């Protein structure tokens, strides 16, 4: 009998009669004080636990020899710091561990000495238990969800690791090591912070009382060697034709906006596009946490600043965009547009600062335009919607839409031209698209990156800039049997 049938049968029988023994018992239970469910659970769990113990024995606390050796090594390091620095003592850690194990028989045969030494070295000079993950080239993101749960992204997929911290204080010691060198702070009055590692990896930290699981760290790693356009073609993020087209658009000083969701690879694409800028131009980059790595020599990097402990002294992205206009930039590169700075960015693009690049969060090129309208309104200036759209249509030449697919791969799904206004509507035209065709047996997405057959309106602008792109780039060769 199904659940629905049982419910209907119970309803058909009606409530039990008052003289039934079950009803009397139920009424008696209702009058009795209800027992705390948590107390009952604990009582049952305790009874069950004691039942599993052998008679005549009590549960003994488990001694963690691994942690005990680590603590003793740490204590010895602290005692010797008066005579030497941590860097001088690190090579001696293994010898210290051997001496402790030799003097205490309880450690023999039950300790992985190398593991203990490596962990202590990471605690003293690195980022604790997650240090090996940050050094692993296959790991692209590290996520610490409190002291007992650490995930990584490897090859586009999330994996739970066996890494763990001792407690919240252990996590916080790593957090302090990350934020202190760049002058950021995090405490109960300011429980969220964006930071970066020395290699440019982006870090976000949120701590209790906002994070209920404990201090939470999210680290977006970046390659030591910045990716190139050839790398993205090799990854399948875009095709060779798309790469040559985008390279030409950057060199021709088109204003380009990279749109996409969280983790879709927008910043990586922005960095690759920035590498196409000629080396003799002055570039000003503006970011919340500096992570762009440009190879050109004439680069000025600006980074926003959060408020101090008194809530004053904040320098926003919008402040930096305004100031950058006084710095004689030939290119302005904005890491991410989130709010009122969108208005200043559009005005800069419309007043002679061609070749600017920026990113923003959105699910499609059309959605990106709607978000830009909203962000302009966040600037606090009352403008008619049509005026805002005219600003957008006049400023942005190209939108690159990037997505992270279900199999973890990252694709540029649209390269879309902003052609102008028709009435009250901004006209968009796709130049290249990603056509998703299905999924193979291993769960990988099947699709192809193809041109739409439409040549952009700014094609002549490319030619006048001395850049020639064969018209065949905009033709689907498979469709024409080439």
Instruction: Say what the pLDDT of residue 14 is.
Output: 59
pTM of the complete model: 0.73
Name the domain boundary from 125, 148, 165.
Answer: 125
Check residue 363 and report its DSSP letter: S
Residue 36 lies in a domain: no
Domain shared by 286 and 359, yes or no: yes
Residue 311 has pLDDT above 60, yes or no: yes
Digit-coded pLDDT (tens) for 359-416: 999 999 999 999 999 999 998 888 899 999 999 999 999 999 999 988 888 999 999 9
Instruction: Say what the pLDDT of residue 30 is.
Output: 47
Check residue 471 and report its DSSP letter: G
Digit-coded pLDDT (tens) for 252-287: 999 999 999 988 889 899 999 999 999 999 999 999
Domain shared by 191 and 237, yes or no: no
Domain shared by 203 and 287, yes or no: no
- Asked whether the beta carbons of 311 and 264 are under 8 A apart, the reply is no
Average pLDDT value for the chain: 82
- Asked whether the beta carbons of 269 and 300 are under 8 A apart, the reply is no
Domain shared by 313 and 260, yes or no: yes
Name the domain boundary from 173, 189, 223.
Answer: 223
Domain shared by 208 and 78, yes or no: no
Give me the mean pLDDT over the 7-11 stretch.
62
What CA–CA distance (Å, rounded) separates 147 from 172?
A: 10
Domain shared by 462 and 387, yes or no: yes
Residue 4 lies in a domain: no
Residue 39 lies in a domain: no
CA angle 380, 385, 386 (to 5 degrees): 135
Domain shared by 333 and 247, yes or no: yes
Domain shared by 405 and 281, yes or no: yes
Check residue 58 and report its DSSP letter: -
Residue 44 lies in a domain: no
Residue 53 lies in a domain: no
C-alpha 422: how far from its chain's center? Answer: 38
Range of the structural domain that residue 119 is part of? 64-125
What CA–CA distance (Å, rounded) separates 206 from 398?
A: 35
Residue 122 has pLDDT above 90, yes or no: no
Q: What percent of the chain has pLDDT over 90?
A: 46
What CA–CA distance (Å, rounded) separates 281 from 249?
A: 16
What CA–CA distance (Å, rounded) separates 9 from 331?
A: 75
Domain shared by 216 and 293, yes or no: no
Total count of domains within the chain: 3
Which residues sit opposite 259 in a β-bridge? 360, 401
- Supply the CATH number for residue 131's domain: 3.30.450.90
Residue 27 lies in a domain: no
What CA–CA distance (Å, rounded) separates 157 from 153?
A: 5
Residue 16 lies in a domain: no
Domain shared by 433 and 409, yes or no: yes
Name the domain boundary from 125, 141, 166.
Answer: 125
Domain shared by 269 and 140, yes or no: no
Digit-coded pLDDT (tens) for 15-65: 554 444 444 444 455 444 444 544 544 554 454 444 443 444 443 444 466
What CA–CA distance (Å, rounded) separates 216 from 210?
A: 10
Give me the mean pLDDT over the 114-126 stretch.
73
Domain shared by 145 and 111, yes or no: no
Residue 95 lies in a domain: yes
């Amino acid at each position: 009998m199904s659940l629905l049938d049982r419910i209907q049968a119970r309803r058909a029988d009606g409530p039990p009669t008052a003289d039934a023994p079950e009803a009397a018992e139920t009424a008696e239970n209702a009058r009795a004080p209800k027992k705390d469910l948590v107390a009952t659970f604990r009582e049952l769990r305790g009874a069950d636990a004691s039942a599993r113990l052998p008679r005549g024995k009590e549960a003994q606390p488990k001694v963690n020899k691994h942690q005990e050796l680590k603590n003793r090594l740490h204590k010895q390091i602290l005692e010797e710091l008066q005579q030497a620095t941590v860097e001088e003592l690190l090579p001696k850690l293994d010898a210290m561990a051997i001496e402790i194990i030799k003097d205490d028989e309880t450690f023999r045969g039950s300790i992985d000495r190398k593991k203990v030494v490596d962990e202590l070295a990471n605690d003293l000079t690195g980022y604790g238990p997650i240090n090996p993950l940050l050094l692993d080239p296959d790991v692209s993101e590290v996520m610490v969800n409190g002291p007992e749960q650490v995930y990584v992204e490897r090859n586009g997929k999330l994996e739970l690791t066996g890494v763990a911290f001792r407690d919240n204080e252990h996590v916080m010691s790593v957090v302090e090591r990350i934020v202190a060198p760049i002058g950021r702070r995090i405490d109960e009055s300011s429980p969220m912070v964006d930071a970066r590692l020395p290699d440019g990896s982006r870090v976000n930290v949120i701590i209790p009382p906002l994070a209920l699981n404990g201090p939470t760290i999210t680290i977006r790693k970046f390659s030591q060697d910045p990716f190139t356009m050839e790398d993205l073609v090799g990854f399948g993020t875009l095709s060779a034709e798309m790469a040559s087209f985008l390279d030409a658009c950057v060199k021709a000083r088109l204003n380009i906006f990279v749109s996409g969701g969280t983790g879709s690879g927008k910043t990586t694409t922005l960095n690759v596009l920035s590498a196409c800028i000629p080396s003799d131009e002055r570039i000003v980059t503006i970011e919340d946490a500096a992570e762009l790595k440009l190879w050109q020599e004439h680069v000025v990097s600006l980074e926003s600043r959060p408020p101090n402990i008194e809530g004053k002294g904040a320098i926003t992205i919008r402040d930096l965009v305004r100031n950058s206009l006084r710095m004689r930039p030939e290119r302005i590169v904005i890491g991410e547009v989130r709010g009122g700075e969108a208005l200043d960015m559009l005005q800069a693009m419309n007043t002679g600062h061609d070749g600017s690049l920026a990113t923003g969060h959105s699910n499609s090129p059309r959605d990106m335009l709607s978000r830009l309208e909203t962000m302009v309104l966040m600037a606090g200036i009352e403008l008619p919607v049509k005026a805002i759209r005219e600003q957008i249509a006049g400023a942005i030449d190209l939108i690159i839409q990037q997505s992270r697919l279900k199999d973890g791969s990252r694709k540029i799904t649209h390269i879309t031209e902003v052609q102008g206004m028709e009435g009250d509507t901004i006209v968009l035209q796709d130049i290249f698209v990603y056509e998703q065709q299905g999924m193979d047996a291993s769960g990988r997405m099947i699709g192809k990156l193809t041109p739409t057959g439409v040549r952009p309106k700014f094609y002549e602008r490319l030619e006048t800039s001395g850049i020639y792109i064969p018209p065949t780039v905009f033709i689907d060769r498979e469709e024409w049997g080439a």
